[in-house]
Amino acid sequence: MEEVREMIGYEIGSCMLGTVLVATSERGVCAILIGDDADGLVRDLRARFPHAALTPSAVAPEHLAKVARLIASPRSGLDLPLDLRGGEFERRVWRALQEIPVGATQTYGEVAQRIGAPQSAKEVGEACAANALAVAIPCHRVVRKDGSMAGYRWGVERKLALLKLEGARLGATVDLFEGH
């Protein structure tokens, strides 16, 4: 049996994009997952934190409410500490994404340029796909260089809904490729 290395509490609720799971560690919110199926979100959480003891109904109700408010109104911000889990490159990408203003988009190449890795647009996409903090780390604001939609970890339809909600100007085409 694997050794439990940490405790992670989670709560599942509803938001304007479907079902949302909010998970917290002792350092802060470590996952915001969005989907259609609570069981699928719990499986995703378990896969992301295989050595953690997961405790349902162990997140303060106000945390779930704040996340749901962030999703419905991205300009409201999220005043909760985040527990970013990833390599140094991923964390650099995620910090850069947090600097993209609400309603704006940047291309994968522009983000790569901003973090000082101009040849790393593909790796920026991979960092977006690895993001466990939907909306709080706004990977939905990253688009292809022609302005069209690339995939989104939680479904391109949700990406499009978030961008429309934020008032972003969108490219003419949407590619339903899922994965970023």
Per the annotation, the verdict on 139 as an active-site residue is yes
Q: What is the dihedral of CA 57, 63, 66, 72, to 10 degrees?
A: -30
User: Residue 122: phi, psi to the nearest 5?
Assistant: -65, -40
State the amino acid at position 56 in one-letter form: P
User: Domain coordinates of the chain in residue numbers?
Assistant: 6-76, 88-166
CATH number of 6-76: 3.30.160.70
Distance in Å from the first CA to the final CA of the chain: 33
Of the residues 15, 30, 128, 139, only one is catalytic, namely: 139
Which pTM value belongs to this model? Answer: 0.89
Q: Are 66 and 79 in contact (CB under 8 A)?
A: yes
The CATH number, out of the four listed (3.40.30.10, 3.30.310.50, 1.10.10.10, 3.65.10.10), of the domain defined by the range 88-166: 1.10.10.10
Q: 87 CB contacts (<8 Å, ≥6 apart)?
A: none
Q: What is the pLDDT along the chain (180 residues), one digit of tens a residue?
A: 556 689 999 999 999 999 999 999 999 999 999 999 999 999 999 999 999 999 999 999 899 999 999 999 988 889 999 999 999 999 999 999 999 999 999 999 999 999 999 999 999 999 999 999 999 999 999 998 887 888 888 889 999 999 999 988 776 444 433 344
